[in-house]
Amino acid sequence: MIQKGLKGIVAAETLISHIDGENGRLFYRGYEIREITKGFSFEETAYLLWFGHLPDEEQLSALKDELKSNRELPEYVKVAIDQLPPAMDLMSVIRTAISAEGGQLDYGWKPSVSQAIRLTALVPTIIAYRKRFLEGQSFFPPRSDLDFVGNYLYMLNGKVPITAHIEALEIYMILTLEHGMNASTFSARVTASTESDLVSAITSAVGTMKGPLHGGAPSGVIELLDEIAMVGDAEKVIREKVLRGEKLMGFGHRVYKTHDPRAVALKAKLMELVGENEWLDLAMTVENTAVKLLAELKPGRLLYTNVEFYAAAIMKAINMDAKLFTPTFTASRMVGWTAHVLEQAENNTIYRPQSKYIGIHNKS
Ligand code: ACO
């Protein structure tokens, strides 16, 4: 029997995260995500995912130092980025820059946590460096007095961000650090299962993340909301799209058959951050209308907002350019990908499913 899209197939055992899709719950290393977003920082959560336990003060400080000391791009990576055509999309730039980073340093088998930390530290710098380069502006070098998320926002804008913006982005980044065997993580694990290096596994993952059905969805959410704002009739736009067989970006999930807990947490943060706001009102109207219409037009499919729907709204609230949404998702998901590659390497079997030939036999 063929399981299209490998739906429902369990491909590996993992200790990293658990998704309870029926009840809309997500756990990192046994800690429920809503508890994590209440009290932990990006770095503490990354530590938890990489090492399997929460850090003490000394371990946390050592991780922060290691991330900071790996933020600078090597000259050859900068040169590689500078050479790329200006029209190249940012996800392809990240994929290429990571590949270039792997060109000179030793990323051979087996992958290590220090390689994982280095690659994770570099991605925000790659994004900011390319953004400033395209704007024809000089790059704002990383600041060692700022932690991961604050420094990322600083490198993008050249201003020390306000606490509310750091908090909003940090919640988003924590919520998207890891999510089981999603398409990009699977991609990373497949590449690692051949005993290829961490850089190759991560470039596979970045390429997979780029697609609109996975990490590319937030920009699609903005387009959907803009179109609805222009037409002024959410029901009409949504109904027509669904009847045409289009997918509504930011809705539906392979695993969650109820509310995505990440969308719930982001929505709550957004309400706290912006309160009464025209744009948030529009997002909530679209959510309510779409959920109602999807229940009518796609009965029994259980379609609700996913993390990307309110991610787009959070990014909009902190004035982040839509082009940076998927790259920012990538910057956080680096932690999950690398944790999975490390886990794969510890107990490796090459992934090699089969296909069923349905063409003609004995052509001649
Ligand atoms: N809008 C309209 N209909 C939808 C949507 C949607 N967003 N999502 C699923 N459906 C419908 C499908 O058309 C299908 O209907 P059918 O049975 O009549 O053919 C049914 O619901 C089941 O859909 P599948 O595509 O089989 O569900 P699957 O689990 O394969 O897909 C996915 C999940 C890819 C997320 C899908 O819901 C989708 O494309 N959503 C829009 C893109 C998006 O928001 N992606 C971000 C996901 S979160 C993340 O990657 C971080």
Report DSSP letters for 29-81, one per residue: TTEEHHHHHHH--HHHHHHHHHHSS---HHHHHHHHHHHHHT-SPPHHHHHHH
Q: Give residue-wise pLDDT tens across range 46-67.
A: 999 999 999 999 999 999 999 9
Least confident of 63-77, 207-221, 340-354: 207-221
- pLDDT category at 181 given cuts 50, 70, 90 is very high
Q: What is the CATH topology of the domain spanning 217-317?
A: Cytochrome p450-Terp; domain 2 (1.10.230)
Residue 76 alpha carbon to ligand 1 centre in Å = 41
Q: Does domain 17-212+323-346 have CATH number 1.10.580.10?
A: yes
| Residue that is written with structure tokens 């990009």 in the block | 184
Those residues with Cβ within 8 angstroms of residue 70's Cβ, 6 or more apart along the chain or in another chain: 117, 118, 121, 122
Question: For 66-71, what is the mean pLDDT?
Answer: 98
Residue 81 alpha carbon to ligand 1 centre in Å = 34
Q: What is the pLDDT of residue 278?
A: 79
Residue 247 alpha carbon to ligand 1 centre in Å = 6
CA of 247, closest atom in ligand 1: 1
- Atom 18, ligand 1: residue with shortest CA distance: 298
CA of 309, closest atom in ligand 1: 44
Delimiting residues of CATH 1.10.580.10 domain(s) in the chain: 17-212+323-346
- Atom 27, ligand 1: residue with shortest CA distance: 254
- Atom 6, ligand 1: residue with shortest CA distance: 247
Range list of β-strands (E), the chain: 17-20, 25-28, 31-32
**Is 259 tagged catalytic?**
no
Delimiting residues of CATH 1.10.230.10 domain(s) in the chain: 217-317
Q: CB 129: neighbour CB atoms within 10 A? A: 22
Q: Give residue-wise pLDDT tens across range 111-138.
A: 999 999 999 999 999 999 999 999 999 9
Residue 265 alpha carbon to ligand 1 centre in Å = 21
Contacts 24+ apart (CB under 8 A), 33-39: 33/174, 33/175, 33/261, 33/262, 33/265, 34/261, 34/265, 36/174, 37/171, 37/174, 37/175, 37/265, 37/269
Q: Which amino acid is at 137?
A: Q
- pLDDT category at 326 given cuts 50, 70, 90 is very high
Q: Which of 101, 170, 308, 343 is catalytic?
A: 308
- pLDDT category at 219 given cuts 50, 70, 90 is confident
CA angle 187, 256, 296 (to 5 degrees): 125
Mean residue pLDDT across the chain = 94
Kindly report the pTM of this predicted structure. Answer: 0.91
Q: What is the pLDDT of residue 22?
A: 92
Residue 294 alpha carbon to ligand 1 centre in Å = 11
Q: What is the pLDDT of residue 169?
A: 95
Residue 272 alpha carbon to ligand 1 centre in Å = 29
ipTM for the whole complex: 0.95
Q: Which of 170, 253, 287, 343 is catalytic?
A: 253
255 contacts 180 by C-beta, under 8 angstroms: yes
CA–CA distances in Å: residue 127 to residues 100, 162, 199: 14, 20, 17
CA atoms within 13 A on the CB side of 228: 27
In this structure, what DSSP letter does residue 323 have? G
- Sign, CA dihedral 155-158-164-168, equals negative
Q: Give residue-wise pLDDT tens across range 334-347.
A: 999 999 999 999 99
Token pair recorded at residue 284: 């909530």
Q: Which amino acid is at 292?
A: K
Those residues with Cβ within 8 angstroms of residue 159's Cβ, 6 or more apart along the chain or in another chain: none
pLDDT at 216 over 80: no
> Which residues does a 6 A CB cutoff place in the pocket of ligand 1?
5, 213-214, 217, 242, 247-254, 298, 301, 303, 306-308
- Atom 44, ligand 1: residue with shortest CA distance: 250
- Atom 49, ligand 1: residue with shortest CA distance: 214
Q: Which of 184, 221, 301, 314 to mutate to test the pocket of ligand 1 (most atoms within 8 A of CB)?
A: 301
**Is 178 tagged catalytic?**
no
CA of 214, closest atom in ligand 1: 50
Q: Which of 298, 310, 329 to mutate to test the pocket of ligand 1 (most atoms within 8 A of CB)?
A: 298
Q: What is the pLDDT of residue 103?
A: 85
- Atom 8, ligand 1: residue with shortest CA distance: 252
What is the spatial distance between Cα 6 and Cα 178, in angstroms, rounded to a whole number?
20
Those residues with Cβ within 8 angstroms of residue 286's Cβ, 6 or more apart along the chain or in another chain: 224, 225, 228, 234, 238
347 contacts 192 by C-beta, under 8 angstroms: no
CA atoms within 13 A on the CB side of 114: 8
- Atom 22, ligand 1: residue with shortest CA distance: 301
Q: What is the pLDDT of residue 213?
A: 87
Residue 50 alpha carbon to ligand 1 centre in Å = 30
